[in-house]
Structure formats: C-alpha cells, structure tokens
Structure 1
Amino acid sequence: MNADYISLKKEFAMYLGRPITSNFFNKCRNSDKWMRVYTSLSTAKSFEILFKAIQCGIPENNNCKLCKRQQLFLTLVKLSHNPTDIDLAFRFDIRESTISWYFHSWIDCIYYKLKTHVLIWPLLYQLHVAMPMCFRRHYPNTVSIMDCFETQIQIPHDRNDQAATYSTYKSRNTVKYLISATPNGTINFISKGYAGRKSDQFIVRHSGYIENLKPGDEVLADKGFEVAEEIGLRGAKLTTPAFKRSAQLTQLETEISRQVSNVRIHIEREIGCMRMKFDIMRGPVIMSNLNTFQDNVCFYDKIVAVCCILSNLNPSIIPFE
C-alpha cells in the first residue's frame, strides 16, 4: 500500500504546473486511479457518494466558475497534496481568494454534515460482527485502540504560547490529538487539538473520550497511557504492554506484551496511512488555522476530523483474517 501511494504521489507531481480543465476533472471523475491520485478516495464511486451526501450543505451560486463537484474535488486535492492556494488558483483558473473560500466552505460542510454520522462509537455487540481474528482470539471485548499524534505548527509569536506548544518528544512546537479506532480499523473518536506540551493522560481525561466507554469494554493503548483508574471507573478495562518492574519481564508478561503490541500497532498504521494520504496532516500548521471563531472549533481541528471521515470512507487497512 505504501509503495502504491508513493507511486501515485509521484504521478500527481508530474502534473504540477499544468492547469486543470473541466475536461480533466471529468476524466478523473470517471477513473478510480485518478481519483486516488488526486483525492485519496479509493474509487470514483466514493467521490459521488460523498458529494451526494453533502451537496445540499452548499448553497447554489450561479456566479461560481466551478460547479459544486469541481469545488469538492479542489478541496480534496488540497487535503491530499496541500498545494499552495496560488498553485491551485493557477491550475483551476480561478482567483486565489476564491480557493480559500471554497476550501473553508467545503471543510465546514463535510465536518458538520458527516462528523456525527461517520465518526461514531459502536456498541461492543456491533463490533463482534466484523471483528478481525487477531482480536477475537485474545481481546474480544476491545472497542478502542487509542493513541496520540502530533503535527508541527508554526512557531507562535507569544512566548507563553511557544512554551505551551513545545513538545519535548518532538523537539518542536506542535498540536496534539487523541485518536481511537475500532478493531476493524474504523476511526471512532478524534479529539480537538491540544497544545503539544499536554500529556497523553491529560488529553484522555479532558477530551470526552472516557465518557464513551461502557461496562465490559476493553481499551488497548501504549504503556505510557496511565489512565487505568479513570477507565476502570467506567467499568471498562485498559490493556497495555507490561512495564519493566525488574531487570527482566517474566515469560508471561513478555507474551502478553507481544500480543498487545501486535494488535495495538494497527492504530499507528492508521495514523501513518492518514498522513501518507493527506499531506495537510503533516504540517506545519499556519497559526490562523488554529484560531477559533463563532462555533468555538478551530479550523485545523475540522481539517483533521474531515481527514478521519474520509479515511473511514476507504476500505479498512486491517485484514479480517
């Protein structure tokens, strides 16, 4: 999969500097290959399903040079390859200011139309229907594999903001997110962004993640997530690789740690796959995208959530067997 996407990214780069005409969009619209190259959606049909699900969220405007499908296509190209607005303006033959308007409008549309319908927390019995065998054998009550990831941001001007966002782990200023996926690879939770200095435990406790857990649920995480007590209060269980309490782990602890690591790695693959498909998640994030407005949600939080939504529209990266 990695090699395929690297190849597709190279093909996209070959088209840099070439204007995108409406005829070209029509060619992409009917091609699974070119949809993957430009939008990271797996098929052209996925694009149509997405468009039909959200098009009513954008008002009709006869003065727009691009039709609604082209506007959505432009937005997905921005997410997937993160070209500059001036580059997109040239390639779509429209004004640079119009690029920003299209992008913000469609990100808002996808976020508000689909977030509560696609990033959902299923019940355990629903997960059992399609639970991969590697989970059925050892962790059949798993509802969530959680992890945190960080994205570099521009260095803030304010010194207090610089200190708050500086990540000692990444040695740079970052915004940090808590993400969760179900055993079959569907993303079921994404937090808002937190300053890079915040600990994983702080984010788990304050993001609303724990409130989704039900009695009997099991959560898999890395050993750095020391939130077993808080999760236990919900009647759920946190499973992590074993800590070294002595010079060497026991044979049982080693085997348990191996089993946990083998299934927990899927969330790391999910994060890596999203970053590979959506260049905009690699950063650096411009400071204006971290501002909050009337809806009290910063624009980059919406971008990250939309990338998660689009990931869920693609086939799972976790094999069933």
Structure 2
Amino acid sequence: MAASREGQGHDKHCCVPFCTGNGRLNPELSFHRLPKAPENRKAWIQAIRRDPGPLFTISEQTVVCSRNFKSSDIKWTPVRTTLKPGSVPSVFPWKADFNIRRQIEKHPIAEKRQKHEINVHVDDISNRPEEMDSTASVSYDDGSALDDMQRSMERIEDLECLLQKKDEEIKNLKQKMEIERFGVQRFSNDDSMIQFYTGFGSMAMFSAFFEYVKPTATCMNSYYYKSCDKPNQQITVGKQRNMLLIDELFIFLCRLKCGLMAQDLAVRFNCHVSTVSRKIITWANFLYFILGSINIWCSKEQIKEKIPPSFKLSYPSTRVIIDCTEIKTERPSSLALGSKCYSTYKSSHTWKGLVGIAPHGALSFVSSSYTGCMSDVEVTKLSGLIDLLEEGDSIMADKGFVLNKVLENTSISINTPPFLSSQG
C-alpha cells in the first residue's frame, strides 16, 4: 500500500470532495497516494465518491490527506507517517462527525483591576436613627406639587398601557406576515400542501429529514458562504445570508417536485433569479453526497421476509426489478457530446439511468447518469448492478434487456414476464 508523508512546502491537495487539505497551508497533515492493488484502489475510490473519468484522473499526484482517516488507521514512526495495511478513508466532510482541527492561538490576558473594598458599618447607621429620619423626611406642605405628581403618574400609566397595546399589534402583524409569506411556515399546519410541494407525507416527516441533514448542511460550502464549525456561527464571503436554511431546502424540493421555474421561485421568495439557481445547485451537490452514502441495497434476508405471495409463488429468486429511465436535458454546445446525448427512443437529448426496486416495492438501486445514446444492456453492465447480486439470484426486466451474454458465466438468471400480444 502506497502511504507516504509529504513534508512541509509540498503543495499537495487532497482529492476528497469538500476537503481543503493542502500540504503548504497544513504542514501538520500527511498525504497518502492511492494504493496500487486493484481491489484496495477500488475500495478507496468508492469511499471518496470520485469516479475516474475526464474530470478526475488518478496519477502519482493524487493523494488523500490524513483528515479522512481514523487515528487508528495511521502509524506514526520517527522517519515518516504511514498507513496500516488495509486502511480505507472513512472520515469525510459530508458526515456529521467530521471536525476540522483548528490551531490553538494564545491571546494576551489583560491585567486584572484591583477591587476596592467597601465596608459598610451597620452599627454606625443603626446608632444614628434621628439623623436618618431628619434627612429622609420631605415636607409636602404644598398641595399643588402633590396634584402634579399624581397627574404625571396617571399619564405614565396611560402611556405604558398604550405602548403595550402597540407591541401586541406589532407582534400580531409580524405573525400574519410570516403566515402569508410563501415558505414552510405558511404550510406547516397543512400536510396536503407539504406533500404537494415537497413530496413528504407530512410536516413531521419533512422536519425529521431537515433535522437529519441540518448538522452538516450548516457546514456546507456554497458560492456565497463558507462552512462554519458551529451551527449558529456564519462566516460570509459576500453578503449576509437572508434566508433560513429550511427555506433553502424548501426551494430545492419545490423545484424538484413541482418543477417550478427559477423566475417563479425568485418572485415567491423575494430574491434574485441567480440566488435561486445557486441555492438549487448547492443543495443538489450536497444531498448527492449525503444521501448517496446511505446503503439502500436489500439483503437476501430482507427480500425473503417481505416478498409478496405472487412473487414467492412464480419468481421466488427475484432479487431486483430493473428498468431504465431517461431525463431530458438541453442540447449541449459540443457537437460530439450532443450526438452522444441524443436518444432515438425519446427523439431528444437525454441522460439515462438504471433504477431497481425490490419485489416488495422498496427502491434498492439507483445508478449514475449516462448519455442517452447508450443501450439498456450497456447501462446495466456499467452500473455495477451485477457485482451486487449473489449466486442463485435472478433479475426481472422487460424484453428490452437482453442480458444472456452478460450473465453467461455467472449463476444469475433473468426473468422476463409474459406480455399480452395486441389484438385487433
């Protein structure tokens, strides 16, 4: 396993997304090259979620910093810092338990001021009651002064009552404006509208999902804002954040679920169109790393426990039901990419992906996106679905998936249910 420590002055950059490890700015870090063994290198690539291709090429300069390893994976020696055999990076910025170490700075302590002691002699005060009575007594012989003071007190009480009423009116108006403003707060008591705009069944489910992603969402990087260590601390690059984090998630879900245009969302949330676009892109990248790290593949025990009776009778070995889906996209400016993205089936430019569900209906597999010109068989081969299947499993697909040659040397079979022929 290649695991070397680069010394100070080497301008090495960590290849893990969202990681800012730099050999020149962070001399305390050690940088480790990807292992040469194919199995270990594949495990590293899957862990850091980087697919080799035109935008990411593995070379001798491709390194991973020590921030992304557990302390138990690192072996310190007087000469250099190495990794223990079989170590795989597992600490990433998109996980809630990732904390960036900050250098401790000592601040000068100001000199303490000397406290002046104040001694109160109670005996002296109690021994002179006559002097206190004589100085504290006030003569109110003049009746007009008492009347003026009484009127002033009544006037103050009236003003205090008026101020309290105005404060209540302002509070009610703020609550009314908050309810009328388009956002999560407006539909917090209407589960049907929450499901319409976000896809979540209720406000409780939406709030639970937001609380799940909130610790890491507060630290995510975007065009305007840097990440912060504390949830309540905001370090801005440009202008101040003027929208709640839960409303940013609501904007993204409205765009994803209802397909609302950026101009429409800008009018609804009273912001610029470019601001809406940046927030949608930021949340799309963020949720890709957060939700992509969740294992949704069902085990054999889970399939057997929840398989429907119809499948258990006719197709008991079915592990996954697959089909390809295509998403339309704009025509690329590049002619080569445009020809690759053109789908003859949809007669437009698309991105194609493979989706699989378990027999009981749970979503269990989602592949990466491929160009629209690729066939369903080719997408299935490149998606990695075959590697997840075990001996004796079977795939259910329609007649467009001709996988006999792909599954020729494996113990995996494919089931194509009968289709009704057209009559008439």
TM-score of the two chains, using structure 1 as the length reference: 0.65
* Maintained 8 Å contact 1:153/1:173: yes
Q: Secondary structure at the match of 2:293?
A: helix
1-structure distance, mates of 2:199, 2:379: 29
Aligned match for 2:416, one of 224, 234, 240: 240
Structure 1 residues 43 and 232 mapped into 2: Cα distance closer, same or farther (>3 Å)?
Answer: farther
Extract structure 1 runs of 4+ deviating beyond 4 A.
19-24
Letter of the 1:226 partner, please give it: V
Gaps of 5+ in 2: 1-177, 219-230
Aligned match for 1:224, one of 400, 409, 414: 400
The match for 1:78 is 255
- Cα deviation digits, residues 99-155 of structure 1 (max 9, x gap): 1222122222222112232x5211111112222222122112211100111122222
- Deviation, 1:95, is 2.5
2-structure distance, mates of 1:215, 1:41: 37
The match for 1:14 is none
Aligned match for 1:170, one of 321, 339, 346: 346
Aligned match for 1:108, one of 285, 290, 312: 285
The match for 1:55 is 214
Q: Secondary structure at the match of 1:230?
A: coil
- Cα deviation digits, residues 6-55 of structure 1 (max 9, x gap): xxxxxxxxxxxxx9955752131232111111112122122012111111
Structure 1 residues 20 and 191 mapped into 2: Cα distance closer, same or farther (>3 Å)?
Answer: farther
Structure 1 residues 232 and 116 mapped into 2: Cα distance closer, same or farther (>3 Å)?
Answer: farther
1:201 aligns with 2:360: no
The match for 1:66 is 243
1:161 aligns with 2:320: no
Letter of the 1:213 partner, please give it: L
* Maintained 8 Å contact 1:221/1:238: yes
- Deviation, 1:258, is 5.1
* Maintained 8 Å contact 1:75/1:103: yes
2-structure distance, mates of 1:99, 1:149: 27
The match for 2:42 is none
Structure 1 residues 160 and 23 mapped into 2: Cα distance closer, same or farther (>3 Å)?
Answer: closer
User: Identical aligned pairs, as a percentage?
Assistant: 29
* Maintained 8 Å contact 2:180/2:186: no
Letter of the 1:164 partner, please give it: K
2-structure distance, mates of 1:189, 1:21: 40
1-structure distance, mates of 2:378, 2:182: 50
Aligned match for 1:142, one of 318, 322, 327: 318
* Maintained 8 Å contact 2:327/2:351: yes
* Maintained 8 Å contact 1:213/1:234: no
* Maintained 8 Å contact 1:20/1:91: no
* Maintained 8 Å contact 2:179/2:185: no
Q: Secondary structure at the match of 2:399?
A: coil
Higher relative contact order (CA 8 A, sep 6+): 1
Aligned match for 1:187, one of 363, 385, 388: 363
Q: Secondary structure at the match of 2:276?
A: helix
1:131 aligns with 2:290: no
Higher-Rg structure is: 2
1-structure distance, mates of 2:411, 2:267: 56
- Cα deviation digits, residues 223-255 of structure 1 (max 9, x gap): 1211134235342211114xxxxxxxxxxxxxx
1-structure distance, mates of 2:179, 2:406: 52
209-218 vs 227-236, which deviates more? 227-236
1-structure distance, mates of 2:401, 2:183: 48
2-structure distance, mates of 1:96, 1:71: 14
* Maintained 8 Å contact 2:183/2:247: no
The match for 2:38 is none
The match for 1:39 is 198
Q: How many residues align?
A: 226
Q: Secondary structure at the match of 1:41?
A: coil
1:87 aligns with 2:264: yes
The match for 1:309 is none
